[in-house]
């Protein structure tokens, strides 16, 4: 098996998919999806000059010198509520009762909030403070002007973006749908959760693990299935599942053992391989193929290896179907302990970061690592990247850490 570099494999894997066609969906259903086209403002926000407070709209120059002891007295000529329109312009000596969000009458240029004023029974108001022009007013278009750019294609639709789209009067957002995925766990040693397992048996855990990873990458999980390490079972499972999903993930049987049959059976079914083995640890046996219209990601059975292989090839592929690629933040850090590795491979080691008060680089506290282990991903902040071309790393050596949190999403060109 000749091993492809991680960077080439990531590029090659993306050729196995094309972005799904955009569809307009109701705003709440767009939550977590990615915009398929840029969005510009359909209207200005606010739409008109309006009051930021409950109070009185005034001509600011008339409040000159007002204090508690020497209030300014104005005649209240109307009341304007949010959503209503003023009936007239303010003339000298006049004020309008206004509530938060109410359009400002022409002629008014400031608001005195009601804590600084008192209504009198005879239809006047006493103002106790001087307000400059613009005070407690929200100007038309001060936040958004009609036609200005709001979001690029590829923007992830989170709650904040949904709020803005709704404020523009949008009912729907144009997004790419969630890719549908199936996960197939293979292995004769596996015992389903809920069933007692003998010491030589293994509780099946990759289905839920990979399904959750797929959901985190925006996919909808349509099938979770098991197959034994038999050609006929594998063949039947591939043929049954592939037509119904965009991506089929398999776990186990990916390596070179006698019962590692997944890749061979896929080939016999006519699958075309884009990636077959990557110079990566953990995750080396990972493959990406296409069976008919379905992308197949062959993940190793070891849970730690399956996680990294999913993260490096499966996740980009699911994001590609949604029209985006992810740019993770990278920071430099110092290794908290020495590591030795195979020089030809990229090692990705889950890590937390420790910031000390000495002003220096953070320390990468590597999690206990093993492809077959499963605790290493819990609470990890990122991957320490130990690049190829080097075998020995001493404690204190500088490395890059790729952070999982707050990535940037960029629309991919089609
Ligand atoms: N001679 C060689 N042996 C191995 C090589 C190699 O290059 N030459 N590669 C190793 C690497 S790297 C990995 S990673 C593993 C993974 O290979 P497979 O994909 O074939 O995985 P399995 O053998 O089926 O299982 C490995 C391990 O993981 C457990 N497992 C499998 N599926 C699940 C599941 N759904 N839930 C929980 N645990 C699961 C399984 O019981 C095994 O312990 O191969 C190396 N070997
Ligand atoms: O590369 Mo396998 O994925 O160690 O452990």
Q: Are residues 291 and 398 in the same domain?
A: no
In a domain, residue 95? The reply is yes
Tell whether the model's pLDDT for residue 371 goes beyond 70.
no
Quick one: pLDDT at residue 359?
86
Quick one: pLDDT at residue 373?
77
Q: Are residues 297 and 374 in the same domain?
A: no
Average pLDDT of the segment spanning 109-126: 97
Chain segment 34-74, per-residue pLDDT in tens: 999 999 999 999 999 999 999 999 999 999 999 999 999 99
Average pLDDT of the segment spanning 340-360: 94
Q: Are residues 281 and 184 in the same domain?
A: yes
Tell whether the model's pLDDT for residue 243 goes beyond 60.
yes
DSSP state, 41? Answer: -
Q: Are residues 303 and 194 in the same domain?
A: yes
Q: What is the CATH number of the domain that holds 340?
A: 2.40.340.10
Quick one: pLDDT at residue 255?
87
Tell whether the model's pLDDT for residue 2 goes beyond 70.
no
In a domain, residue 268? The reply is yes
Q: Which helix (H) or strand (E) holds 223?
A: strand 220-227
ipTM for the assembly? 0.97
How many angstroms separate the CA atoms of 146 and 236, rounded?
A: 56
Average pLDDT of the segment spanning 263-269: 96
Residue nearest to atom 10 of ligand 1 (CA): 255
How many angstroms separate the CA atoms of 7 and 85, rounded?
A: 61
Tell whether the model's pLDDT for residue 86 goes beyond 70.
yes
For residue 88, the CA-to-ligand 2 centroid distance in Å is 76
pTM above 0.95, yes or no: no
How many angstroms separate the CA atoms of 101 and 46, rounded?
A: 9
Quick one: pLDDT at residue 127?
98
Q: Is the CB of 263 under 6 A from ligand 2?
A: no
Tokens for 267, please give them. 């080939």
Domain count, the chain: 4
How many angstroms separate the CA atoms of 235 and 251, rounded?
A: 15
Tell whether the model's pLDDT for residue 280 goes beyond 80.
yes
Quick one: pLDDT at residue 390?
96
Average pLDDT of the segment spanning 352-373: 87
In a domain, residue 1? The reply is no
Rg of the chain in Å (alpha carbons): 31
Quick one: pLDDT at residue 143?
94
Q: What is the CATH number of the domain that holds 265?
A: 3.40.980.10
Average pLDDT of the segment spanning 247-267: 92
DSSP string for residues in 311-323: IIIIHHHHHHHTT
Ramachandran region of residue 389, left (φ > 0), alpha (ψ -120 to 50) or beta? Answer: left
DSSP string for residues in 314-376: IHHHHHHHTTEEEE--EEEEEESS-EE--TTSEEEEEEEEE--TTSSPPEEEEPP--TT-SGG
Average pLDDT of the segment spanning 20-33: 98
Q: Is the CB of 283 under 6 A from ligand 2?
A: yes
Tell whether the model's pLDDT for residue 1 goes beyond 60.
no
Average pLDDT of the segment spanning 335-362: 94
How many angstroms separate the CA atoms of 81 and 99, rounded?
A: 6
Confidence class for position 258, pLDDT limits 50, 70, 90: confident
**Domain's final residue, options 322, 346, 377:** 322
* Under 8 Å between Cβ of 347 and 414: no
Chain segment 144-176, per-residue pLDDT in tens: 999 999 999 999 999 999 999 999 999 999 999
Average pLDDT of the segment spanning 265-276: 97
> In the chain, what percentage of residues exceed pLDDT 70?
99
In a domain, residue 61? The reply is yes
Q: Are residues 335 and 397 in the same domain?
A: yes
Quick one: pLDDT at residue 256?
81
Q: Are residues 34 and 164 in the same domain?
A: yes
- Which atom number of ligand 2 is nearest to the Cα of residue 283? 3
Q: Are residues 182 and 302 in the same domain?
A: yes
How many angstroms separate the CA atoms of 58 and 135, rounded?
A: 10
In a domain, residue 91? The reply is yes
* Under 8 Å between Cβ of 78 and 105: yes
In a domain, residue 359? The reply is yes
Ligand nearest to the CA of 370: 2
CB atoms within 10 A of CB 368: 9
Among 1, 9, 257, 284, say which to mutate for ligand 2: greatest number of ligand atoms within 8 Å of CB: 284
Confidence class for position 374, pLDDT limits 50, 70, 90: confident
Tokens for 411, please give them. 């629309």
**Domain's final residue, options 322, 340, 374:** 322
- Which atom number of ligand 2 is nearest to the Cα of residue 286? 3
Tell whether the model's pLDDT for residue 277 goes beyond 90.
yes
Average pLDDT of the segment spanning 344-368: 93
Ligand nearest to the CA of 281: 2
**Domain's final residue, options 301, 322, 343:** 322
Q: Are residues 312 and 219 in the same domain?
A: yes
In a domain, residue 207? The reply is yes
Average pLDDT of the segment spanning 307-330: 98
How many angstroms separate the CA atoms of 83 and 196, rounded?
A: 65
Tokens for 1, please give them. 């098996």
Residue with the two structure tokens 């790419």: 176
Residue nearest to atom 17 of ligand 1 (CA): 255
Q: Are residues 171 and 184 in the same domain?
A: no
When the pLDDT of each residue in the chain is averaged and rounded to a whole number, the result is 95
Which residues have C-beta atoms less than 6 Å from ligand 1?
Answer: 185, 187, 189-190, 202, 204-206, 251-257, 260, 282, 284-285, 300-303, 305, 371-372
Quick one: pLDDT at residue 309?
97
Q: Are residues 194 and 229 in the same domain?
A: yes
Could you list the residue range(s) of the whole structural domain that residue 100 is in? 50-138
Among 252, 341, 345, say which to mutate for ligand 1: greatest number of ligand atoms within 8 Å of CB: 252
How many angstroms separate the CA atoms of 322 and 301, rounded?
A: 27
For residue 402, the CA-to-ligand 1 centroid distance in Å is 26
95 in helix, strand or coil?
strand
Quick one: pLDDT at residue 376?
85
- Which atom number of ligand 2 is nearest to the Cα of residue 280? 1
Tokens for 20, please give them. 């799904």
> In the chain, what percentage of residues exceed pLDDT 90?
90
Q: Are residues 11 and 34 in the same domain?
A: no
**267 contacts: CB under 8 Å, gap ≥ 6:** 273
Tokens for 258, please give them. 């006698």
Tell whether the model's pLDDT for residue 226 goes beyond 70.
yes
- Which atom number of ligand 1 is nearest to the Cα of residue 300? 19
Q: What is the CATH number of the domain that holds 163?
A: 3.90.105.10
212 in helix, strand or coil?
helix
- Which atom number of ligand 1 is nearest to the Cα of residue 260? 20
Q: Are residues 209 and 346 in the same domain?
A: no
* Under 8 Å between Cβ of 191 and 204: yes
């Amino acid at each position: 098996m000749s091993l492809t570099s991680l960077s080439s494999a990531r590029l090659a894997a993306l050729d196995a998919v094309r972005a799904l066609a955009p569809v307009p969906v109701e705003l709440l259903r767009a939550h977590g999806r990615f915009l398929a086209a840029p969005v510009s403002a359909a209207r200005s926000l606010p739409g008109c000059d309006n009051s930021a407070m409950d109070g009185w709209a005034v001509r600011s120059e008339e409040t000159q010198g007002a204090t508690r002891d020497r209030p300014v007295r104005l005649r209240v000529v109307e009341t304007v509520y949010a959503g209503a329109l003023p009936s007239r312009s303010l003339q000298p000596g006049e004020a309008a009762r206004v509530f938060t969000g109410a359009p400002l009458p022409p002629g008014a240029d400031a608001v005195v909030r009601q804590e600084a004023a008192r209504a009198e029974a005879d239809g006047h108001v006493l103002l106790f403070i001087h307000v400059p022009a613009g005070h407690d007013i929200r100007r038309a278009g001060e936040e958004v002007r009609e036609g200005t750019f709001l979001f690029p294609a590829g923007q992830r639709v989170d709650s904040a973006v949904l709020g803005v789209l709704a404020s523009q009067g949008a009912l729907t957002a144009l997004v790419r749908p969630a890719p549908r995925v199936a996960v197939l766990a293979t292995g004769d040693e596996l015992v389903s959760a809920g069933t007692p397992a003998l010491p030589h048996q293994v509780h099946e855990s990759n289905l839920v693990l990979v399904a959750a990873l797929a959901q985190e990458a925006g996919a909808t999980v349509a099938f979770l299935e098991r197959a034994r390490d038999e050609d006929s079972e594998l063949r039947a499972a591939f043929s049954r599942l592939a037509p119904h999903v965009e991506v089929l993930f398999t776990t186990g049987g990916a390596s070179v053992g006698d019962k590692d049959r997944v890749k061979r059976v896929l080939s016999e079914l006519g699958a075309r391989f884009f990636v077959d083995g990557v110079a990566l640890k953990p995750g080396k046996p990972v493959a990406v193929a296409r069976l008919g219209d379905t992308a197949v990601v062959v993940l190793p059975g070891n849970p730690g290896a399956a996680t990294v292989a999913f993260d490096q090839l499966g996740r980009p592929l699911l994001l590609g179907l949604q029209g985006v690629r992810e740019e993770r933040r990278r920071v430099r850090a110092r290794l908290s302990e020495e590591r030795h590795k195979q020089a030809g491979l990229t090692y990705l080691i889950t890590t937390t970061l420790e910031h000390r008060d000495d002003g220096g680089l953070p320390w990468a506290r590597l999690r206990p690592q093993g492809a077959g282990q499963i605790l290493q991903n819990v609470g990890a902040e990122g991957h320490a990247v130990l690049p190829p071309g080097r075998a020995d790393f001493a404690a204190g050596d500088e490395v890059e850490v790729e952070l999982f949190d707050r990535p940037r999403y960029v629309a991919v060109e089609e």
